[in-house]
Amino acid sequence: MEKEFPIRQVLDGEGNITDDSYDLSEELVKDLYGKMLRARTLDKKSVNLQRQGRIGTYAPFEGQEASQVGSASALGEGDWMFPTYRDHGATLTFGHSVTTIMLYWKGRVEGCVPPEGKNIFPPAVPIATQLPHATGAAMAEKRKGTDRVSIAYFGDGATSEGDFHEGLNFASVFKAPVVFFNQNNGYAISVPIEKQMNSKTIAQKSLAYDMDGVRVDGNDVLAVYFETKKAVEKARRGEGPTLIEAVTWRYGAHTTADDPTKYRDQQVSEEKRNKIDPLLRLERYMEKQGFFDEQWKQDVTAQCDREIEQAVEEMEAFPDADINDMFGHVFKEPVWTIEKQREDYLTFKRGETV
């Protein structure tokens, strides 16, 4: 199956072009680099904020910037995005503000609200539940006669969930204009992919639903961008869904509450930084092309730092989250099960026995 679904690449880890069929303009390359640097700056700052107790548990994504930024950059203004709890690099690229993303990790409901005119669903914490939602939104746009497309993000672990298969099946049957974007980093929390499934690739799962399946180097932002763009344009033409498997690697933990040293050799992870890092390979490419400038990088870095620091100030100006919001935004009308949970919490808070 690895032969039937080869990993598509534009740049290798050293910044060498492996596929010269694309127009790699300086403007595009620098734009994607700046977006990835912005996402990584947000990610590193958020980890530090969590360690300082200024936000709650956080899901880092360092190493997966190319997958998220490249795919999100291929979308159109009115398209739909269905992220997981780890895809704030994608939502940031697609229009969420840094402040909004930080408010989400502070527990504020404002963190789930996209900017006016942006179709970004709240991050899905239950695994794979967003795939049928993305399919449904795409089917709705198709029935309304628009050319809007949905993209659903999910990890390799989500492919073992029923919602994954239901979402793909509906999309296949109704030729829904949706892109299923998988970030395969080799681990579903502590479970390596070879213990989770017997399939050699995730892309091959597309065969069961008679849809296109593609594997791409998820650390090559250019390959991700162009392959996602193809899938988006195909969906926009009414030619049905695509399953993209972005083979990537996350350097850090599943969340800040996780200890990856219990199940993964972190030395291997650190060694990968010099071999496959998304930002480093783009820097190497730009250097070889003669348009990488250290002062430009410092200017972009300083701009990212200023934006992140301002967002931290704005986030911390908000009061702490109200625990009642957790119960008040589940159903349109209160139901007894949720009200019982609220009562139990209030009882526990008063120090009484539940």
Residues recognised as catalytic: 250, 254, 263
Of the candidates 84, 44, 90, 98, the residue with the CA atom closest to the CA atom of residue 70: 90
Write b or e for each residue in 286-315: b if 16 or more Cβ atoms lie within 10 A of its Cβ, otherwise e: beeeeebeeeebeebeeebeebbeebbeeb
Q: How far is residue 156's CA from residue 199's CA, in Å, rounded to a whole number?
A: 11
Q: How far is residue 339's CA from residue 312's CA, in Å, rounded to a whole number?
A: 34
Q: How far is residue 73's CA from residue 221's CA, in Å, rounded to a whole number?
A: 10
Which residue in the block uniquely carries the two structure tokens 């947000």?
42
Which residue in the block uniquely carries the two structure tokens 């509450």?
257
